[in-house]
Amino acid sequence: MLARILPEGAAAAERFDDREPVAPHPEEEAVVAGSAAGRRAAFHTVRLCARLAMADLGVPPAPVLPGPKGEPRWPGGLVGSMTHCAGFRGAAVAPSADLAGLGIDAEPHGPLRPGVLEYVALPAERARHARLVRTDPSVHWDRLLFSAKEAVYKVWFPLTRSWLDFDGADITLLPDGRLTARLLVPGPYVAGHRVGTLHGRWLVAGGLALTAVALGAAGEAVTPWTPPLGDDTCKQGACNS
């Protein structure tokens, strides 16, 4: 599913449970050695996905260790992102020569808890959310917005090494599967240019809400995305399940 919303040149892998045997790198196992079994299983499965995605790009297998803020530290020459939630583990990577940043997020496709939308969304985002609900009530647009905020942060943090609050980006979700994030704080400099806007895609399928956000190596929007949105893409919740 991730491959449907990633830009050209990115590779992804995903799993829907932790049943596949994983031989973790010793350095990775040391990170979660004292964790509960479920936490350890998800940690290792999502890193299996990361190595499968790296292999698609011809990159040898390598440990993916968390940084000081929990961010994945990728081998040189790569950018990427990982995500896991109930029923899903996924990773996406791309050559840093092609992309300056890549963020993905997966969430169960259900409504946010009461009060969460008001906490994470700007007034303009809440107004657009109300219109989207009227357009297609089968999509949990609040959950998609939350997921998009997470994906934006995963692009932001490796470039800035700083926190981005929920009110630091104004996100517009479009019914055709596109999303745009307008940064409301000074963006990172990429290739000598300050980034002000990020672009991405969203998808609802298999009981999941998925988002992907990418930034070109020169700080430009990544267009066109491949594969392009067509009749088989989950527009307006048509693939919701």
Q: Encode pLDDT of 30-72 as tens digits.
A: 999 999 999 999 999 999 999 999 999 999 999 999 999 999 9
Residue 190: its pLDDT value, please? 96
Statement: residue 137 has pLDDT above 90: yes
* Residue 206 clears pLDDT 90, i.e. is over it: yes
CA–CA distance, 135 with 116 (Å, rounded to integer): 21
Q: Note the pLDDT of residue 161.
A: 96
Find the mean pLDDT for residues 71-77: 97
| Percent of the chain residues past pLDDT 70, beyond the cut | 92
End-to-end CA distance of the chain, in Å? 13
Higher confidence at residue 91 or residue 229?
Answer: 91
- Cα-flanking dihedrals φ and ψ of residue 12, to 5°? -145, 160
Between the alpha carbon of residue 26 and those of residues 62, 66, 67, 70, 191, the distances in Å are 11, 14, 16, 18, 36
> What's the pLDDT tens digit per position in 121-135?
999 999 999 999 999
pLDDT of residue 222: 81
3-state helix, strand, coil in the chain (%, to 5): 30, 30, 40
Look at residue 231 and tell me whether its pLDDT is greater than 70: no
Q: Among 225, 159, 166, 163, which Cα is nearest to 195's?
A: 159
Q: pLDDT grade, residue 225 (50/70/90)?
A: low
